[in-house]
Amino acid sequence: MERRKFLKNASLSTAAVLVGGKALASQTNTNHPPNHQNTNHTKPLVIATWNVNLEAEKAFQTLQAGKSAVDAVEEGCKLAEANIDNITVGKGGLPDRDGHVTLDSSIMDSHGNCGSVVYMQNVTHAVSVARMVMEKTPHVMLAGKGAEQFAYEMGFKKEDLLTEKAKKAWDEWKVKSQYEPIINIENHDTIGMLAMDANGDIAGACTTSGLAYKMNGRVGDSPIIGSGLFVDNEIGAAVATGLGEEVMKTVGSFLIVELMRQGKTPQEACEEAVRRIVTKPGSNYKNFQVGYIAMNKKGETGYYSIHKGFWMTKCTSEKANNSESEAFIK
């Protein structure tokens, strides 16, 4: 399914909203059809943003091979990064307005460790570099040239990430050079993935080339721990896709995990996180997309978006399946 939405007048001025102070009573969701949430509590379990069956299946196979949840999400995301037909992730991603392909990625393991890279160029597997940041450095985040240098030190090879296809699209864009970034491109956008292994331990990762034709230097939500991704192995995890500026302004993934901590189901928490965006005074949410997926410790899952056309992939057996999210805008 092809789906294109254009950003108009995205406001960058609103301060971030963290979790509301109000305690939320524990409740179960009765407003959704039974298939809208996973009540099977199946383990292992992989969910991912958009229609990424092969990637989710790869992650699932990794879990079946007895590897950890963090291994699984890395392997799944790597498949998307290496796919040059995916124009929103890794090699083949659309460049910024000046022609640079710049990658953002983050990863979190079941112990609450995290790593990320932002604005990294010339290295395909941003998710693996993010994992190295997590495991091999005392830091959480490396940016730009420093991230790239670190990647080479870790043995990653230098590659030109701008493919002919992406360059052609950029050349066409330059004719008008309008800064109206495409928010959703077809159905395999930024990949965010959450996995629960057979022991019930959760990890997550997110990787993207960010918004097409963004300003040089722009960093989105995907590598920002708490915004694009958050994992708390005691509670659950969430990951975001869509217009990163709006996700960052509401610290969306952390918000979802905290709402689950307070008793919301993953579905209710995703809906509330979307509601925080669309109910902001002056929000122009009709012009952009944000989608969230989440899982809790019981293996229940949820997903929700502003616009229709957002999909979640779920894998609890050999074959992954996809379902379209309910949306705020009916």
The contact set with ligand SD4 (CB under 6 A) reads: 184, 189-190, 208, 210-211, 220-222, 241-244
Sorted by sequence, the CB contacts under 8 Å of residue 89 that are 6+ apart come out as 77, 80, 81, 83, 188, 190, 191, 207, 208, 209
Active site residue 14: no
Query: Residue 25, class by beta-carbon neighbours within 10 Å (0-12 exposed, 13-18 middle, 19+ buried)?
Result: exposed
**Minimum separation from the CB atom of position 66 to ligand SD4 (A):** 31
76 vs 244, beta carbon nearer ligand SD4: 244
CB 170, min distance to ligand SD4, A = 17
Whole-number minimum distance, CB 127 to ligand SD4, in Å?
14
Q: How far is the CB of 220 from ligand SD4 (least distance, A)?
A: 2
Nearer to ligand SD4, 44 or 276 (CB): 276
d(CA 258, CA 53): 29
Instruction: Confirm if 109 and 134 have CB atoms less than 8 A apart.
Output: yes
206, 208, 276, 299 from 308: Cα distances, Å: 21, 21, 18, 25
CA distance 211 to 209: 7
Smaller CB distance to ligand SD4: residue 29 or 287?
Answer: 287
Q: Tally the residues of the chain.
A: 330
What's the one-letter identity of residue 171? D
Q: Which of 124, 163, 190, 265 is catalytic?
A: 190
Between 86 and 128, CB nearer to ligand SD4: 86
Instruction: Kindly list the distances between the CA atom of residue 69 and the CA atoms of 42, 111, 221, 245, 264, in Å, as whole numbers in the listed order.
Output: 14, 11, 22, 28, 24
CB of 67 to ligand SD4, least distance (A): 26
Cα distance between residue 188 and residue 299, in whole Å: 24
- Run of H or E residues at 127: helix 126-136
- Specify the residue, 93 or 302, whose C-beta has the smaller distance to ligand SD4: 93
Task: Determine the Cα–Cα distance for residues 164 and 95; give it in Å rounded to an integer.
Answer: 12
What residues act catalytically? 190
